[in-house]
Amino acid sequence: MIVRRASKPIRIGSVTIGGDSPIVVQSMTKTDTRDVMSTINQIKELEECGCELVRVAVPDMEAARAISAIKRGISIPLIADIHFDYRLALMALEAGCDGLRLNPGNISQPEKVKAIALTAKERDVPIRIGVNAGSLSRAADPQLPIAQQMVEAALQQIRLLESLDFDLIKVSLKAFDVPTTIEAYQDIASKIPYPLHIGITEAGTPRTGIIRSTVGISTLLYLGIGDTIRVSLTASPREEVIAGYEILKSLNLRQHGPILVSCPSCGRAEVDIVKLAEAVEKELLKIDKPIKVAVMGCVVNGPGEAKDADVGIACGKGRAVLFKKGEKIRTIQEKDFVGVLMREVEGL
Ligand code: SF4
């Protein structure tokens, strides 16, 4: 049983982060933010696969100004990612962003942070203090372990915001190194009341990045730490959202779309289970319902798992037994496996 750390909820546009709210899945666009149409199109794709919050890079004033046009074309809240220049944050706020991410490693001067916080407060826009191990300021003692430096960098900026009576705060402490990230989050989780955005930075391509992200994010979630997640992948942002939900589903923290149970196949299988499971998985991407579908290779575990699912098949040579809600329905022929299974799924 996971007991979530208590955190002070904040609202980013229509989405609540922290408190008792479901853990939010977010991603970041990979388009040039100044290219409004491409950015809207990518966000629309993200909305379709369930992304609940999106962040865009704001490298210059043109990108900051583009936020107002992008906002008109999308339905989910938008967060502006700001580095180096506080004026980009002010412009992004004026353009209507729903949240800001600031990096204390490159915007730390109190008067600049103050200017941002005052405008953000007027507009009720939260700020994420996004510490990254790759861009730590010299705020903390460089002799300290990286995790402690990250925590110290965040605490300094939190204290500054609190001194300005600003508490719409969210915090992230990301590193590529998983134990460092876990240590940093565990440390700060007991020191502040604010919600935490968790993730492993620069995690890599899907093959390794999903594993690295899952190890870090899941460990934290299991400890009750984390109110919103972003899986960083060198891939389409859709992959990030799909991976994010799979992590949450694996820990029974959220339901989102179907769960596919498929056996790994072995020498007992008399049909190509790998090909069959891939075909079913592709079809299931079109389904929203939180159902369990089983594709099993033989009679050893097949009937048991298939019976436990909402719909399932346990295959034999050239045919399979179709199960629905624990009941054996009928035997189906191999050429009909995917079609029949999907018709049953659609009928649920
Ligand atoms: S269900 Fe059957 S085919 Fe699949 S891995 Fe288990 S024993 Fe092998």
Q: What is the pLDDT of residues 283-321, one digit of tens each?
A: 998 898 999 999 999 877 766 777 779 999 999 999 999
CA of 299 to the centre of ligand 1 (A): 8
Is residue 56 within 8 Å of 28, Cβ to Cβ?
yes
pLDDT of residue 258: 94
Say what percent of the chain tops pLDDT 70. Answer: 99
Is residue 26 within 8 Å of 98, Cβ to Cβ?
no
In tens, the pLDDT along 173-231 reads: 999 999 999 999 999 999 999 999 999 998 789 999 999 999 999 999 999 999 999 99
CA of 263 to the centre of ligand 1 (A): 6
Query: Phi and psi for 130 in degrees, rounded to 5?
Result: -105, 90
Taking residue 80's Cβ as centre, other Cβ atoms within 10 Å add up to 26
Return the ∠ at Cα 248 (arms to 243 and 254), rounded to 5°.
Answer: 125
pLDDT of residue 12: 98
Say what percent of the chain tops pLDDT 90. Answer: 87
Mean pLDDT, rounded, of the chain: 94
Q: Which atom of ligand 1 is nearest to the CA of 299?
A: 2
For residue 104, count CB atoms less than 10 angstroms from its CB and return exposed for 0-12, middle for 13-18, buried for 19 or more: buried
| Tokens of residue 132, six digits | 């990254």
Q: Which atom of ligand 1 is nearest to the CA of 305?
A: 1
**What pTM does this model have?**
0.92
Q: Using CA positions, which residue lies closest to atom 5 of ligand 1?
A: 265
In tens, the pLDDT along 82-109 reads: 999 999 999 999 999 999 999 988 888 9
